[in-house]
Amino acid sequence: MADQQIKLTECPRDAMQGLSHFVPTDIKAEYINLLLQVGFDTIDFGSFVSPKAIPQLRDTAEVLSKLDLSNTQSKLLAIVANLRGAEEACRHEAITYLGYPFSISEGFQMRNTNTTIADAFDTVKKVKALCTANNKDLLVYLSMGFGNPYGDEWSIEIIERWTEKLVDEGIGIVALSDTIGIATPDQISSIYPPLTKRFPKTEFGLHLHSTPETALVKIEAAYQSGCRRFDSALKGYGGCPMANDDLTGNIATENLIDCLKPQNALHGLNLDRLKEALAFADRVFTA
């Protein structure tokens, strides 16, 4: 694992979705077009969900139509919350990944997608079949992967049990998600390696939320645990608007890059474009 190149997923979708002001479609597209030139493995660019639930992303299809994909190696990921959204996403050839938020917390699954865990798992199976038929890959986010504030039972055994069910359904990519930013380095070190050992054919990533003060120790613990797939957002913007907390942000991409540079596993990033995107982010995230 030590010499394996790191895959970075930049998450403007997660960064934007909870903003109180609507980011104009052209600004979204200009920002994402900049990100496409940086060299990230994947861009989590939008979502096909109810505009009532996430009004900020009601223009995802229009944003997609304005993206220049002619000179980028980055793949596009869109979040879906139900079969209808998956069907819409599958109509767009440019999208490689569909992401589905599956929670091991009943309370958060209801809060996030208005469905039970059992029904959500049924949706996963249907979306997986749809992805297979349309040459897409399904990435499942294992939400509340490090605990939850809703009083639901939580344990490493529960994580492993649901991971096994997902793997049995053919899910090839699973992202452990620290939805409310409570993961500790010890937790990461105790949860991540056993999963990769037990399910060696599955690609595991981490989608961590964090305060700036605790981000670096989480990144270091994740890397030492074997993680090579990280989600982040420039300047640490974002978080989950459905979570019951004072939002912690995403891991800041620029800090993630600085932290991982000594590992010599980040190749092909255009740092000039990265600087441009960092400067442009202020136009996106400040009203």
pTM of the model: 0.93
Enumerate the domain spans of the chain.
Answer: 7-285
pLDDT given for residue 248 in this prediction: 63
User: What pLDDT is stored for residue 230 in this prediction?
Assistant: 97
Q: What CATH code would you report for 7-285?
A: 3.20.20.70
CA dist., res. 67 & res. 74, Å (int): 12
Q: Alpha carbon 116 to chain centroid distance? A: 21
pLDDT at 97: 98
pLDDT attached to residue 152: 84
pLDDT by residue (tens digit) across 259-268? Answer: 988 776 676 8
Closest alpha carbon to 240 in 75, 132, 106, 79: 79
For every one of its 287 residues, what pLDDT tens digit does the chain have, with 9 covering 90 and above?
Answer: 345 789 999 999 999 998 989 999 999 999 999 999 999 999 999 999 999 999 999 999 999 999 999 999 999 999 999 999 999 999 999 999 999 999 988 888 888 788 899 999 999 999 999 999 999 999 999 988 898 777 888 899 999 999 999 999 999 999 999 978 889 999 999 999 999 999 999 999 999 988 888 899 999 999 999 999 999 999 999 754 444 445 468 999 999 999 988 776 676 899 999 999 999 999 999 86
Q: Specify the pLDDT at position 139.
A: 98
Q: Whole-angstrom Cα distance, residue 105 to residue 120?
A: 11
What percentage of the chain reaches a pLDDT higher than 90? 76
Please give the pLDDT value at position 211.
85
Q: What is the DSSP string of the chain?
A: -TTSPPEEEE-HHHHHTT-SSPPPHHHHHHHHHHHHTTT-SEEEEEEES-TTT-GGGTTHHHHHHT---TT---EEEEEESSHHHHHHHHT-TTEEEEEEEEES-HHHHHHHHSS-HHHHHHHHHHHHHHHHHTT-EEEEEEETBTB-SS-----HHHHHHHHHHHHHTT--EEEEEETTS---HHHHHHHHHHHHHHSTTSEEEEEEEE-HHHHHHHHHHHHHTT--EEEEBGGG----TTSSSS--EEPBHHHHHHHHGGGT---S--HHHHHHHHHHHHHHH--
Angle between helices 253-260 and 212-224 (to 10 degrees): 40
Name residue 271's amino acid: L
At residue 239, the pLDDT reads 58
